[in-house]
Amino acid sequence: MEKTYYNPEDLKKFGNVGEFQKDLADKFFDYYGTVFADSALSAREKSLIALAVAHAVQCPYCIDAYTEDSLEKGYSEEQMMEAVHVAVAIRGGASLVHGVQMMNKVDKLSM
Amino acid sequence: MKSLIAQSHSLSDPKVQIEVINNHNDRVKSLDKFEKKLDEINLFPLKPTGIEIFQINVGYMCNMTCKHCHVDAGPDRQEIMTKETLQYCIDALKDSDIQTVDLTGGAPEMNPHFRWFVDEVSKMGKHVIVRSNLTILDTRKFEDLPQFMADRGVEITCSLPFYSKRRTDMQRGVGTYDKSMKILKVLNEIGYGKKETGLLLNLVYNPVGAFLPGDQNSLREQYKERLWEDHGIIFNDLYTITNLPISRYLNFLVESGNLEDYMEKLITSFNPGAAQGVMCRNTISIGWDGALYDCDFNQMLQLKTNHGAPDHIKQWDLEKLNSREIIVNQHCFGCTAGAGSSCGGAVT
């Protein structure tokens, strides 16, 4: 067994997932490439969205990859951290908005 | 900060640098060799397409000591091209159709014969490019140089590794960004960067860290927007240049534990199209002592032109140089990664 669940070297093996279900992997990577191409949004804009989402889903591989990609695409440290805060705000807000559900239940159960 | 050579650092020795980029450890040793990649696309041995750019490194002295500098330049470097050697360069240029003379360093302005040489070459009708660090022009001794260069139609290509102060100062030293903005405004005031004057002002982006440059067009637009909105500065073009694993940048890669990943990234990003257009195919590099090299990077690794071609400006022979074999090694992957890299930016 590996000493850690996450190994940075494993990111380079991402393409190997095709060894077990090639068709599905091929479709995924093809789709992935299309998603990140310049289109209605630029590849640059998508890189920053990916950085934020990487933090929301807390994927260390994605954080490494899109930190480097964001640097390459010319984002400043301030812009990158603001993107992370967007993820944080949505995650925090998603928890907090459930407070309304809690309040509704309190109302229902209370005299 | 002292230069590596003043620190007697092992990486100031070109032989050690070549050993590190080839054999630093098992992982580096196992990486594909540049010669092999060229061979796979029938480009080995690499031959010139014809010399169009005469790039002279007029000395390693500089007023700055940037962390990424492949020259290991700095105030403590004493290597300066003499007037005699500059005269050999003029003699070589007289007998050739080469139109572009590219002056680099160090800070090329610090060569005591800089003004004389620019005058002489301009009189010959050659196009002169000066690679300036900008901050040198913010000193009393050199403050009249912008006008001097403007009067002679000199193209200025200057370093600005990022549009933000934080990242620029991180690489080039505290205060660099503010001085650079000040001098860019001076250059704009005398007509540099303005289409109607024809005075070309180009900026050089290079990554502040162990990553590759992004898309040149996208970065140019970001720089244009930020420099105009934040400072009212304009410029003509932006060149993205990849950091090559040489000298101080190599030292940074080793010390930060990034060498293996960086080399691997350069190699997996090998672009055959970029390899076709590498600058050593149309450039000759002249060292401060008159020695000839395929490029400024080979100069820093002391890999002189060979295979029967002359290796000193005194033996200048354009025909032999145009049929030489270019010396390559693992650092060359820096010029062939992604969109490619040259002194004029991306090559594809």
Alpha helices in B269-303 (DSSP H): 272-276, 296-300
State how far residue A87 is from chain B, nearest Cα, in angstroms: 24
Looking at domain B10-336, its CATH architecture is: Alpha-Beta Barrel (3.20)
Q: According to the model, what pLDDT value does residue B56 have?
A: 98
Max Cα-Cα span within chain A? 61
Structure tokens at B58: 């007029």
Nearest-angstrom CA–CA distance, B71 and B233 = 29
Q: In the predicted model, what is the mean pLDDT of residues B269-277?
A: 97
Q: Is A42 on the interface with B (CB under 8 A)?
A: yes
Residues 6+ apart with CB under 8 A from A40: none
Average pLDDT over residues B60-76: 97
Residue in A44, A68, A78 closest to B218 by CB: A44
Q: Which helix (H) or strand (E) holds B284?
A: strand B283-286
Q: Give residue limits of the domains in chain A.
A: 14-109
Per the listing, tokens 């796979």 go with: B40
Who among B166, B211, B218 is closest to A68 (CB)?
Answer: B211
pLDDT band at A2 (very low <50, low <70, confident <90, very high): low
Evaluated on CA atoms A90, A39, A75, B195, the torsion sign reads negative
Q: B211: which chain A residues are within 8 Å (Cβ-Cβ)?
A: 68, 71-72
| A16 Cβ under 8 Å from any chain B Cβ | no
Residues in Cβ contact with B207 at an 8 Å cutoff, skipping those fewer than 6 apart:
A71, A72, B161, B213, B242, B243
- Domain A14-109: give its CATH superfamily: AhpD-like (1.20.1290.10)
The H or E element that residue A19 is part of is none
State the complex-level ipTM: 0.86
Name beta bridge partners: B337: B270
**pLDDT tens readout for residues A66-106:** 999 999 999 999 999 999 999 999 999 999 999 999 999 99
pLDDT per position as a tens digit, B142-195: 999 999 999 999 999 999 999 999 999 999 999 999 999 999 999 999 999 999
Whether residue B209 and residue A44 make contact (CB cut-off 8 A), yes or no, is no
Of residues B105, B103, B18, B111, the one with CA closest to residue B65: B105
- Overall average pLDDT of the A46-67 stretch: 97
Residue B254 pLDDT exceeds 80: yes
Burial of B320 (0-12, 13-18, 19+ CB in 10 A): middle
Is the pLDDT assigned to residue B309 strictly greater than 60?
yes
DSSP B330: G
Q: Residue B13: pLDDT above 80? A: yes
Q: Which of B163, B213, B222 lies at the smallest CB-CB distance from A72?
A: B213
Q: Where are the domains positioned within chain B? A: 10-336
Task: Pick from B215, B240, B260 the residue to mutate for testing the A interface (most A CBs within 10 Å).
Answer: B215
Residue in this structure with the two tokens 């949004």, named with its chain if needed: A41
The percentage of chain B sitting over the pLDDT mark of 70, rounded to a whole number, equals 100
Order of strands across the sheet with B127-132?
Answer: B237-240, B201-205, B155-159, B127-132, B100-104, B53-57, B283-286, B292-293
pLDDT at B175: 97
What is the average pLDDT value for chain B, to the nearest integer? Answer: 97
What pLDDT is stored for residue A5 in this prediction? 86
For B312, the 3-state DSSP assignment is strand
A79 close contact with B: CB closer than 8 A = no
B231, exposed or middle or buried, with CB in 10 Å at 0-12, 13-18, 19+? Answer: middle
Q: Which residues contact B298 (CB under 8 A, 6 or more apart)?
A: B280, B285, B304, B327
Partner B contacted by A77 (CB < 8 A): yes
What integer is the mean pLDDT of B40-68?
97
A44 touches chain B (CB under 8 A): yes
Q: What percent of chain A has pLDDT over 90?
A: 91
B340: left (phi over 0), alpha (psi -120 to 50) or beta: left
Would you state the pLDDT for residue A3?
Answer: 76
Say yes or no to pLDDT of A1 above 70.
Answer: no
User: What is the distance, to the nearest Å, from the Cα of residue B335 to the centroid of all Cα atoms in its chain?
Assistant: 12
